[in-house]
Amino acid sequence: MRNFIFTLLIIALASIESLFALEQENYPNISGQILFESRNDSILSTKERDLKSFNGYINIEPDFNLNFDENWSIQTGWRILPIFDRKYDYPERSRFILGNNRGVNQDSTGLIIEELKVHFENEDMKFSAGKIDPTFATMYRRSKRIGLFITDFTEDYELREKIGFSVSGLLEDSEVTANTFFSDTTGLSDSGFKHRKRQSPNDGLSSNTGTLSSFSLTIEGQKFFGVENLYYNVGYRNMNVEARDELSRKEKGYTLNLEYLHKIGKNTSIVPFFEYVRLDNFTGHKNRDAIYFTSGIIGKYSGWTASLAGVVRNIDNNYSLASKSKTNDSLFTANIGYKFSNNIAIDLSRANVKEDSKKASMIGVIISYLYKF
């Protein structure tokens, strides 16, 4: 019922969008966007008896910018979604697709401050300081619209909720970014409504050192090796870890993403893509090494999108406190969606999932609305 009401709210907000259009000529002013999502999935078949068939929740991502002039601003990023206790075995995961917390989890909904930063930008560079999401890979971005389930795997390696600095150089066809940071353990690492507790300064996870000793470097752009419409992202991260038993002194990560836009007609294109991520001493645990490989193809025609995509996640859990020595997960999905001119989008996904030795055939739908102001 709550998801149905939320869907009606999306439609209502879209219909009155023009009433809230503001001119941004005078400073200071406020700009930003709000992403509303109703995310729902159901298990069609599985051999697991303890899994709830239906899972549904609301995800809202408001981004507000207070602009002092054309260069300086304070930028914030928020997330409203179900929040669960932090897991030691899998501290990188934001969601378990086949976990025991399936169901309608509205009572677990909390508010997270993901970014809160001072930002400067001109035609040559960008600079941010505060609580930031450092750059690394790209496949976890919701804007790619490759179905309901893909980001549940790829968000594992997203860098988020760090305190530090980010500097980007804006070149003709690319953007080069350097980030230096440490994990947020202040009161901002807690959450509102549903408390997940503050990030512990002694949890031994990578980048949780309280010093600007961790960093990531990325270059993102188009015309890779001069090829028109070949988009790319290359990233590297090096994150320090407090020295103790079972912990490495560093986590290192590497990523390469390629996407090629092939135009067939005025409103028709196909986009084959892949992203490779390798992480050594993942999350700071010595010899816990991970490989993620995502690939697929997206077809676009006017407001329609259709895609086939898959993710493979292999993790060697070579430390004594691990619940299992290896994690070999996979996800293969077919998706179709339509985006209306008022920014309402509906995406339907069919997927086969293998997660932590559990297998299921699933179907899912996202109803979303992006409001920009």
3-class DSSP state of 123: coil
This prediction has a pTM of 0.90
Cα 41 to chain centroid distance, Å, stands at: 19
**pLDDT score of 368:** 95
Q: Give the bridge partners for 255, in sequence order.
A: 235, 277
201 in Cβ contact with 184 (< 8 Å) = no
**pLDDT score of 320:** 56
Q: What is the mean pLDDT of the chain?
A: 89
> Whose CA is closest to 132, among 200, 62, 68, 180?
180
Going by the DSSP 8-state scheme, the letter that residue 12 receives in this structure is: H
Query: Average of pLDDT values for 4-22?
Result: 48
The pLDDT of residue 19 is above 50: no
Report the C-alpha gap between 287 and 326 in whole angstroms.
12
Query: Average of pLDDT values for 109-138?
Result: 96
**pLDDT score of 144:** 85
- pLDDT band at residue 364, thresholds of 50, 70 and 90? very high
3-class DSSP state of 90: coil
**pLDDT score of 221:** 96
3-class DSSP state of 25: coil
Q: Tell which wins on pLDDT, 18 or 96.
A: 96
Q: How far is CA 312 from CA 163, 285, 308, 315, in A?
A: 30, 21, 14, 10
pLDDT of 38-49, one tens digit each? 999 999 999 998
In this structure, the dihedral spanned by the alpha carbons of residues 211, 213, 219 and 225, taken in order and rounded to 10 degrees, is 180
Q: Which amino acid is at 315?
A: I
> Whose CA is closest to 359, among 44, 48, 41, 42?
48
**pLDDT score of 20:** 46
Report the C-alpha gap between 372 and 172 in whole angstroms.
27
End-to-end CA, the chain: 29
pLDDT of 304-351, one tens digit each? 999 999 999 999 987 656 666 788 999 999 999 999 999 999 999 999
pLDDT of 217-232, one tens digit each? 999 999 888 899 999 9
The pLDDT of residue 16 is above 50: no
**pLDDT score of 197:** 80
pLDDT of 68-117, one tens digit each? 999 999 999 999 988 876 666 788 888 899 988 888 877 788 899 999 99
Token duo for residue 304? 């329609």
CATH of domain 2-372: 2.40.160.10
Q: Give the bridge partners for 314, in sequence order.
A: 291, 328
Q: Tell which wins on pLDDT, 194 or 206.
A: 206
**pLDDT score of 88:** 61
Q: Give the bridge partners for 279, in sequence order.
A: 253, 290
**pLDDT score of 207:** 94
Report the C-alpha gap between 366 and 57 in whole angstroms.
10
Query: Average of pLDDT values for 257-279?
Result: 95
- The DSSP annotation for 181-206 comes to EEE--SGGGS-BSS---PPPTTS--T
**What residues contact 175, with CB distance under 8 A and at least 6 apart?**
168, 169, 219, 220, 221
Token duo for residue 285? 């645990």
Q: Tell which wins on pLDDT, 200 or 160.
A: 160
Kind and range of the H or E run holding 7: helix 2-15
Q: How far is CA 78 from CA 59, 68, 113, 135, in A?
A: 11, 20, 5, 17
CB atoms near residue 27 (< 10 Å): 12
